[in-house]
């Protein structure tokens, strides 16, 4: 058990080092940092001085080691624009993105799992058919269109919810949160739905498919034959057995929600890292881009690590190092 966990941790570190390498290579070789910083009219002496200051003349592995070492201390250099430290820029905007991602993930998981189970249990009912056909719309409409439609309906026509921004936020020193004010919560609703709708339909369809599969298993038939109630059969026997695939997909989706909140953040002018990244792309702000890449890689690795550890928690066969060869 401990060995499995240690092995997973080691793998996670290797993946992060590789992500750091790509991030470093972008930083080092995409565009020319010297030109970006000094502009075209700089003298040769100025260039040489800056190259030395940035360590660009050191051997490449040394530069990489330096990069990793500085990244470990959250030092990603200064943004080309505004010359603020990148770490500070990200720290300023990360809470907005994380709160948006987490809210939309919770929304997606709760509604996805509930409707998934419902539609699996009540196969062929009117409500099931309605949910399933509506979910097709959710999958096929692009995110920005959903966002714009929601703004049109709830902000412009009904005037219930704000159409952009985070509303009032509370500063906790190291974190700014929108969870503690009414306007902050109201501002979260539309972007969360926009961002989570696709994930919700995905989780719902997965839950439904897994549930239908599990309900065919012999231990479910036996539980029914032994007279156990529907509630016992569904929640004691079936639900734990669909958790592993559902958690896997949810984890991956949470990763992409954080990484690709960009569109939603653009539509709702949400002051998160996605918006920061888009602006960095416009201005070829390489340090911001490479730090963003590292951040997203880190988020994916951490989430997958947590997912793997959850597997061990759920499935005793995996705890004993036995693969699922029987089922």
Partner 1 sequence: MSKTREMTAPLLEISHLSVMLKKRRDRLKAVDDLSFKVYPGEILGLVGESGAGKSMTGSAILGLIDPPLYISSGEIIFDGNRIDQNASSIRGSKISMIFQDPLVSLNPLRKIGDQLVEAIRTHINMSKAEAFDRAKTLLAEVGIDPRRINAYPHTFSGGMRQRVVIALALAPEPSLIIADEPTTALDVSVQAQILDLLKRLCRERGTSIILITHDMGVIAETTDRVAVLYAGRLAEIGETASVLNSPRHPYTKGLVAATPRIDADSYKKKLFQIPGAMPDLEQIPQGCAFHPRCDFANAQCKIQQPPLFEDRSACWLLKDGSEIS
Positions touching partner 1 (CB under 8 A) are 217-219, 221-229, 232, 236-237, 240-241, 314-317, 320, 322, 326-327
Q: How far is the CB of 209 from partner 1 (least distance, A)?
A: 19
113 vs 289, beta carbon nearer partner 1: 113
234 vs 270, beta carbon nearer partner 1: 234
Q: How far is the CB of 12 from partner 1 (least distance, A)?
A: 26
Tracing tokens 């943004």 back to the chain, one arrives at 79
45 vs 323, beta carbon nearer partner 1: 323
What is 137-196 written as a DSSP string?
A: HHHHS-HHHHHHHHIIIIIIIS--S-SSS--S-EE-SS-EESTTSHHHHHHHHHHHHHHH
Residues whose CB is less than 8 angstroms from the CB of residue 125 and which lie 6 or more positions away in sequence, other chains included: none
Q: How far is the CB of 312 from partner 1 (least distance, A)?
A: 12
63 vs 228, beta carbon nearer partner 1: 228
Q: How far is the CB of 228 from partner 1 (least distance, A)?
A: 5
d(CA 5, CA 183): 42
Residues whose CB is less than 8 angstroms from the CB of residue 109 and which lie 6 or more positions away in sequence, other chains included: 203, 250
Q: How far is the CB of 8 from partner 1 (least distance, A)?
A: 21
E-strand ranges in 218-266 read none
Q: How far is the CB of 325 from partner 1 (least distance, A)?
A: 10
What is 21-90 written as a DSSP string?
A: HHHHHHHHHSS-HHHHHH-TT--HHHHHHHHHHHTTTS-HHHHHHHHHHHHHTT---B-TTTT-BHHHHH
d(CA 92, CA 208): 39
Cα 160–Cα 164–Cα 167 angle in degrees, nearest 5: 80
122 vs 229, beta carbon nearer partner 1: 229
Token representation of residue 297 = 């890689």
241 vs 250, beta carbon nearer partner 1: 241
Q: How far is the CB of 213 from partner 1 (least distance, A)?
A: 13
46 vs 322, beta carbon nearer partner 1: 322
């Amino acid at each position: 058990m401990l060995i499995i966990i240690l092995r997973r941790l080691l793998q996670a570190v290797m993946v992060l080092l590789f992500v750091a390498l790509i991030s470093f290579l972008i930083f080092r070789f995409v565009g020319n940092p010297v030109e970006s910083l000094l502009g075209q009219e700089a003298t040769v002496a100025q260039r040489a001085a800056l190259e030395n200051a940035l360590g660009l003349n050191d051997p490449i592995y040394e530069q990489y080691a330096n990069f990793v070492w500085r990244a470990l201390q959250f030092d990603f250099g200064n943004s080309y624009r505004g010359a603020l430290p990148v770490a500070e820029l990200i720290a300023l905007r990360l809470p907005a993105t994380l709160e948006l991602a987490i809210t939309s993930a919770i929304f997606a998981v709760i509604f996805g799992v509930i409707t998934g189970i419902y539609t699996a249990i009540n196969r062929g009912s009117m409500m099931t058919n309605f949910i399933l056909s509506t979910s097709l719309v959710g999958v096929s409409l692009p995110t920005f269109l959903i966002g714009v439609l929601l703004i049109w309906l709830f902000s412009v026509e009904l005037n219930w919810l704000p159409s952009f921004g985070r509303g009032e936020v509370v500063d906790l020193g190291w974190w700014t949160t929108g969870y503690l004010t009414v306007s902050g919560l109201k501002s979260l609703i539309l972007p969360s739905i926009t961002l989570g709708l696709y994930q919700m339909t995905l989780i719902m369809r997965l839950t439904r498919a897994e549930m239908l599969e599990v309900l065919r298993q012999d231990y479910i038939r036996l539980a029914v034959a032994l007279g156990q109630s529907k509630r016992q059969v569904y929640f004691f026997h079936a639900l734990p057995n669909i958790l592993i695939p559902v958690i896997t997909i949810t984890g991956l989706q949470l990763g992409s929600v954080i990484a690709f909140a960009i569109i939603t953040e653009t539509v709702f002018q949400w002051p998160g890292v996605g918006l920061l990244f888009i602006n960095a792309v416009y201005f070829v702000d390489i340090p911001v881009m490479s730090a963003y890449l590292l951040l997203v890689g880190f988020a994916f690795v951490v989430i997958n690590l947590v997912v793997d550890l959850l597997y061990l928690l759920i499935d005793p066969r995996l705890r004993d190092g036995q693969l699922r060869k029987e089922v």
